[in-house]
Amino acid sequence: MEFKVSKKDTYTLIEFNIDKPITPDVLQDIKPPEVDTTKGVIISGRGPIWLYGYLIHHYHPALWVATFDPRLGGGVVVMSHTPEVSEGDVIK
Protein backbone atom coordinates (compact mmCIF):
# COMPACT_ATOMS: atom_id res chain seq x y z
CA MET A 1 0.00 0.00 0.00
CA GLU A 2 1.31 3.42 -0.92
CA PHE A 3 0.38 6.81 0.46
CA LYS A 4 0.60 10.12 -1.35
CA VAL A 5 0.62 13.27 0.77
CA SER A 6 -0.48 16.67 -0.56
CA LYS A 7 -0.22 19.66 1.76
CA LYS A 8 -2.94 22.27 1.30
CA ASP A 9 -3.53 25.53 3.17
CA THR A 10 -6.14 24.17 5.56
CA TYR A 11 -5.74 20.40 5.29
CA THR A 12 -3.53 17.51 4.27
CA LEU A 13 -4.79 15.20 1.53
CA ILE A 14 -3.83 11.58 2.17
CA GLU A 15 -4.38 9.37 -0.88
CA PHE A 16 -3.80 5.65 -0.53
CA ASN A 17 -3.26 3.28 -3.39
CA ILE A 18 -3.77 -0.46 -3.09
CA ASP A 19 -2.14 -2.45 -5.87
CA LYS A 20 -3.24 -5.90 -4.72
CA PRO A 21 -6.03 -7.28 -2.51
CA ILE A 22 -5.42 -6.61 1.16
CA THR A 23 -6.54 -8.43 4.31
CA PRO A 24 -7.13 -6.95 7.78
CA ASP A 25 -3.75 -8.12 9.10
CA VAL A 26 -2.16 -5.22 7.19
CA LEU A 27 -3.50 -3.01 9.99
CA GLN A 28 -0.93 -4.53 12.33
CA ASP A 29 2.02 -2.86 10.66
CA ILE A 30 0.58 -0.05 8.57
CA LYS A 31 2.49 3.25 8.76
CA PRO A 32 0.26 6.14 7.69
CA PRO A 33 2.08 9.40 6.88
CA GLU A 34 2.46 12.01 9.58
CA VAL A 35 0.35 15.14 9.25
CA ASP A 36 0.13 18.62 10.72
CA THR A 37 -2.58 18.10 13.36
CA THR A 38 -3.34 21.84 13.45
CA LYS A 39 -5.01 21.34 10.05
CA GLY A 40 -7.66 18.98 8.74
CA VAL A 41 -7.10 15.67 6.95
CA ILE A 42 -8.93 14.36 3.90
CA ILE A 43 -8.55 10.62 3.27
CA SER A 44 -9.02 9.39 -0.29
CA GLY A 45 -8.68 6.09 -2.13
CA ARG A 46 -10.45 2.94 -3.21
CA GLY A 47 -10.36 0.49 -0.33
CA PRO A 48 -12.36 -1.39 2.30
CA ILE A 49 -14.37 0.40 4.95
CA TRP A 50 -12.18 -1.08 7.69
CA LEU A 51 -9.11 0.59 6.15
CA TYR A 52 -10.93 3.92 6.24
CA GLY A 53 -11.97 3.15 9.79
CA TYR A 54 -8.41 2.56 10.83
CA LEU A 55 -7.16 5.73 9.14
CA ILE A 56 -9.97 7.87 10.55
CA HIS A 57 -9.08 6.71 14.03
CA HIS A 58 -5.38 7.18 13.34
CA TYR A 59 -5.89 10.80 12.32
CA HIS A 60 -8.20 11.52 15.24
CA PRO A 61 -5.71 14.10 16.68
CA ALA A 62 -6.11 16.26 13.55
CA LEU A 63 -8.25 19.40 13.59
CA TRP A 64 -10.86 17.58 11.54
CA VAL A 65 -11.06 14.43 9.41
CA ALA A 66 -12.99 13.95 6.18
CA THR A 67 -13.34 11.10 3.70
CA PHE A 68 -13.33 11.89 0.01
CA ASP A 69 -16.55 10.95 -1.77
CA PRO A 70 -16.13 10.82 -5.57
CA ARG A 71 -19.87 11.21 -6.11
CA LEU A 72 -19.94 14.43 -4.09
CA GLY A 73 -16.59 15.63 -5.43
CA GLY A 74 -15.32 16.55 -1.99
CA GLY A 75 -14.33 15.38 1.44
CA VAL A 76 -17.18 14.77 3.88
CA VAL A 77 -16.22 15.81 7.42
CA VAL A 78 -16.79 12.94 9.87
CA MET A 79 -15.23 14.46 12.97
CA SER A 80 -14.12 17.95 13.96
CA HIS A 81 -12.41 19.60 16.90
CA THR A 82 -13.12 23.11 15.64
CA PRO A 83 -16.39 25.05 15.53
CA GLU A 84 -15.43 26.35 12.07
CA VAL A 85 -15.94 22.94 10.49
CA SER A 86 -18.87 20.63 11.26
CA GLU A 87 -19.65 16.98 10.70
CA GLY A 88 -21.43 16.70 7.37
CA ASP A 89 -19.62 19.66 5.77
CA VAL A 90 -18.30 18.89 2.29
CA ILE A 91 -14.82 20.28 1.64
CA LYS A 92 -14.45 20.73 -2.12
| Beta carbons within 10 angstroms of residue 46's beta carbon | 9
Q: Given the complex with a second copy, which of 2 and 70 has the nearer CB atom?
A: 70
Phi, psi torsion values for 71, nearest 5 degrees? -70, -30
Of 61, 23, 18, whose CA–CA distance to 79 is shortest?
61
Q: Output the smallest distance, CB 51 to a second copy, in A.
A: 8
Under the criterion CB under 8 A, does residue 52 sit at the interface with a second copy?
yes
> Which residues contribute to the site for a second copy (CB under 8 A)?
24-28, 48-50, 52-54, 56-57, 60, 65-67, 69, 72, 76-79, 86-90
